Amino acid sequence: MTVRWALLGTGRHAERSVVGSLAKADGGELVAVMSRDRDRGEAFARKHGIARVHDTVASVLADDAIDAIYDTTPDALHAPHAIYAARAGKHVLVEKPLAVSVAQGLQAIEACRQHGVTLGVVFNQRHEPVHQEARRLVREGAIGDVVLANVQIPLQSVSPRPDARAWSWRADPAMRAGGIAISIGDHAHDTLAYLIGQQVEEVSAFTDATRDNPPDERVAGLLLKLSGGAIGYAVATRVTPYARRPFEIHGTKGSILIENSYLYLTGGPADARPRLTVITEAGESVNAFEPADCFRLEVERFNRAIAGTDTPMTPASEGLRAVAIGEAIYQAARTGCVQKVAAFLPDGG
């Protein structure tokens, strides 16, 4: 089966990271793009060799030549698009976050379940080979029981696009749930939990927010209690472009350090390769990895999920948990009190 894809959105992320990967992915073909502006859509389609252009979501969903959508539109549109797509019988791969609230995310999940379509959320860094190797080592007990882990993701500053129209949604309270704690912090806690194979269960948080609604923080520090007893520390910033430091996982019998993953967000030396250091009683070993096209791997896995031979790398339930963690983070930051993630999920998680 070849999955016929439509890309929703022609913005920064679609252009930089998604369109090329979607076109290259095995098991599918990119047949259409949707832009609210037909001229922009046609220019994007010409540039990337895409056959069909739509200028509304409704016309994408009415197109019988499309099986699945990859949604790179603003955060608040992800869940409504997933619901409309489900009703039209299209599969949905949505950029993180799944939704801007748990309530909205649940509606999207329910619609996809009801209509029998596959829903996945893009946490692309799960695919990074250095992360896969760290997860494998943790799983096989190479560093004993993981008791401590930390990750820091400083978003590199990006200059606003000359076309500032599309840029403005990030300042619109209706379009996103908060600041850096959810836009980059979600990558941080998702990768941390995925690598050590434990779920985030409790959070406390400090941010530099000057507004509560919506939160507008640029620096967020999160303390996490994980299901296997580990303590995690995740930091996300967008005003400290040089704050890179290794991702560290510490166990009772060793430690793992990961460098140069997330470079597409943090920037870094052009020739930097992801590196993994393992330190145990036996000594220290260092391995370098070739950079991988995580978005292509994401789409290929989703194509297999549609074909019934695999599952999405991040199933909707885990995307929903990430949204719940975001809600817990803001509640923790506002109240100064530790929050249980389960309290933000239906039926207590």
Ligand X SMILES: NC(=O)c1ccc[n+]([C@@H]2O[C@H](COP(=O)([O-])OP(=O)(O)OC[C@H]3O[C@@H](n4cnc5c(N)ncnc54)[C@H](OP(=O)(O)O)[C@@H]3O)[C@@H](O)[C@H]2O)c1
Which residues form the interface with ligand X (CB under 6 A)? 9-14, 35-37, 40, 72-75, 77, 95-96, 122, 124, 166-167, 169, 183
Per DSSP bridges, beta strands 339-340 and 91-95 are unpaired
CB of 172 to ligand X, least distance (A): 8
CB of 315 to ligand X, least distance (A): 16
Per DSSP bridges, beta strands 68-71 and 3-8 are parallel
Which C-beta is closer to ligand X: that of 10 or that of 339?
10
CB of 219 to ligand X, least distance (A): 18
Which C-beta is closer to ligand X: that of 158 or that of 282?
158
Task: Report how far residue 169's alpha carbon sits from residue 271's, in angstroms, rounded to the nearest whole number.
Answer: 33
CB of 36 to ligand X, least distance (A): 4
Name which of 93, 87, 96, 78 is nearest 116 in CA terms.
87
Which C-beta is closer to ligand X: that of 21 or that of 339?
21
Phi, psi of 121, rounded to the nearest 5 degrees: -120, 140
Helix, strand, or coil (residue 326): helix
Is-cis flag, bond preceding 97, omega within 30?
A: yes
Which C-beta is closer to ligand X: that of 14 or that of 66?
14
CB of 90 to ligand X, least distance (A): 17
Bridge partner residues of 258 (DSSP): 247, 276
Which C-beta is closer to ligand X: that of 13 or that of 334?
13
* Packing angle of the helix pair 75-87, 102-115 (nearest 10 deg): 20
Contact 72/95 with Cβ under 8 angstroms?
Answer: yes
CB of 4 to ligand X, least distance (A): 20
Contact 192/202 with Cβ under 8 angstroms?
Answer: no
Name which of 202, 165, 205 is nearest 182 in CA terms.
205
Which residues, 6+ apart, have CB-to-CB distance to 335 below 8 Å?
none
Amino acid identity of residue 134, one-letter, is: A
CB of 105 to ligand X, least distance (A): 13
Which C-beta is closer to ligand X: that of 167 or that of 206?
167
Which C-beta is closer to ligand X: that of 100 or that of 278?
100
